Structure 1
Amino acid sequence: MEKIGFVGLGAMGGHMARHLLKAGHDVYVSDLNSDTVAAAVMHGAFRCESPLHVADNAEIVLTCLPTPEIVEEVALSEYGIGSGSAVKYFVDHSTVGHTVSSRIAAKLAERNILALDAPLAGGVAGAEAGTLSVMVGGNADAYRRCEPIFQAFGRNVVHVGDQPGLGQTLKLVNNMIVGATLVATCEAVLFGIKNGLDPQVLIDMLNKSTARSFTSETIVAGSILERRFDLGFRMDLMRKDLRLFLLEAERVGAATFATSVVKQFFDRAVASGNGGEDMSKVVLELEALTGVEIARRA
């Protein structure tokens, strides 16, 4: 069993830490939210006062944090993980983009710490069930060392390449497709409803036809149609990921026509005050423009 550090016990991280504890590992935790730390301690984790304290106790330290700026601060500051006396492997499960991930890996390498970027797919439900997809970029030996740890909370664990940041690239591809298919599917469904189709009939047929997707089956049929908006991924985080996609695409010279348009819907939803709400609520912007709702008829 390992001594593992975990910084960031939010909607995803708290569940992941509990899976590590269930697997029998010693887990040292830190988070600005004292309630989430207390919950982890109740399940057997060790409380730490800072990321540095975590890295003084654990050879492998995982992070799951909301923004690139926070990840860099936690990894590289004077009181961050990179200054710890025990840490040898840094694994970032956040979504920060290729550029930031590569920069952190280079800085930590100067301190003889191997870094992996290992962003996640599967949402809060996947974190709770221990069925996340883990997309890992970075040193192959470091991956082999950490792979059994990832399997405590991941069902699909893949090393996508030795180059730091490749995991981040794959995660941005995934989230761009989710965001784009959500906007496109909702726009098309609202067109059908506006023309008189029953929402339930329309969506049932889509999910038995060539237009079906994770979005149509899980988000539209499973959440929006029931007006639950409970996918478990915040609007402002999807907007952040689309922004990162555009920045990284510009860096390598990739076309981003669709992404640019999709991001504008999330920009508008955040500006409307829904930044902290579930990302599925982006449909409210399209509904307001169309004048009908994707909702089951009484």
Structure 2
Amino acid sequence: MDIGIIGLGQMGREMAARLIDSGHALTVYNRTAAATQRFRGRARIASSAAEAAGAEVVITMLADDAAVESVWLRQKLIPRGIHVNMATVSLALTRELARAHHQYVAAPVFGRPAAAAKGELDIIAAGPKAAVERCRPLFEALARQVFVAGETPEQAAAVKIARNFLLATVIESLGEAFALVGKAHVSPETFLHILTSTSLAAPVYKSYGRQMVEGAYEPAQFSMELGLKDLELALSAAREKGVVMPTAELIRKNLLDAIAQGNGRKDWTALAEYLGSKGSG
């Protein structure tokens, strides 16, 4: 399949490499050209986003609404074929892109760069049925599971935003729980073992709990700043849909406070470290 990809950050570059290894022909574009160098000789290096948008399918994997808007809306860029936005963006921007691009598929992903490199992401897709089906080959190269949320792109965006909010609640609650047992002189390792050997043996508790026990916050796999962005997206969607999310408000405040103390570039699981220090006095 002839695929363009716009955005070669931590996720985008691993996705691009995986697609090349799976036999797809890629045209890659990144605003800073240095990120494209690892693909020289393996993919066509585009000099502009418009060049990448000329592919049969173009993937966007950018950091936030502002970055996506700057590429697509400010330049009034129109894809030649299907536009698959795999970034996490707001409901409002999703609707705007769907209006502007006839074949627009929202397909945000669950998983970190290591999962992208191995083709083990989970993808939530929504958009015109024929466009989603045409994208199956690239989804299958990147993902272990593909879920179709519906035929309206906003549906996939809503699922992604809601699930990321749930991940934030896990980090917040684990951080609070570690702080509590720590004051009772229970070792973090013992507490994590008990949690993950009983009814909380889910992968997210194991992976986030392990990061907290080891203090493995740098380099960040997903930074606090990006976590805050996701909380803002959840609260924006909640206001739009008339939903009250007091837990999201609490986590947002804690993230803002932790970032103000210089932790913004640490992994968002470092929120546990901040929560543990709050009551240290």
Scaled to the shorter chain, the TM-score interval is: over 0.9
Give 1:100's match in structure 2, choosing from 71, 93, 96.
93
Pairwise CA RMSD: 1.6
Residues 1-298 of structure 1 aligned to structure 2 (within 5 Å): 2-42=1-41, 44-56=42-54, 58-78=55-75, 80=77, 82=78, 84=79, 87-109=80-102, 114-221=103-210, 223-229=211-217, 232-291=221-280
CA shift, 1:290, in A, is 2.9
Q: Which runs of 5+ in 2 are unaligned?
A: none
Deviates more, 1:94-103 or 1:209-218: 209-218
CA shift, 1:158, in A, is 1.4
Q: Distance in 2 between matches of 1:277 and 1:40?
A: 28
The 8 Å contact of residues 212 and 273 in structure 2, kept in 1 or not, is answered as no
CA shift, 1:248, in A, is 0.5
* TM-score, length-scaled by structure 1: 0.89
CA shift, 1:202, in A, is 1.2
Q: State the one-letter code of the partner of 2:186.
A: L
The 8 Å contact of residues 59 and 83 in structure 2, kept in 1 or not, is answered as yes
Q: State the one-letter code of the partner of 2:212.
A: I
CA shift, 1:250, in A, is 0.9
Question: Deviations along 1:20-54, whole A, 9 cap, x unmatched?
Answer: 10111110010023222011225x01100111111
Partner residue of 1:295? none
Q: State the one-letter code of the partner of 2:29.
A: S
Task: Specify the SS of the correspondent of 1:71.
Answer: helix
Question: Deviations along 1:262-286, whole A, 9 cap, x unmatched?
Answer: 1111111222222222111112211
The 8 Å contact of residues 12 and 124 in structure 1, kept in 2 or not, is answered as yes
The 8 Å contact of residues 30 and 47 in structure 1, kept in 2 or not, is answered as yes
* TM-score, length-scaled by structure 2: 0.95
CA shift, 1:189, in A, is 1.7
The 8 Å contact of residues 175 and 273 in structure 2, kept in 1 or not, is answered as no
Q: Which runs of 5+ in 1 are unaligned?
A: 293-298
Question: Deviations along 1:145-176, whole A, 9 cap, x unmatched?
Answer: 00111111111111110012111111111110
Q: State the one-letter code of the partner of 1:164.
A: P
Structure 1 residue runs of 4 or more that deviate by more than 3 Å after TM superposition: 211-215
Task: Specify the SS of the correspondent of 2:40.
Answer: helix
The 8 Å contact of residues 51 and 79 in structure 1, kept in 2 or not, is answered as no
**How many correspondences in the alignment?**
280
Task: Specify the SS of the correspondent of 1:265.
Answer: helix
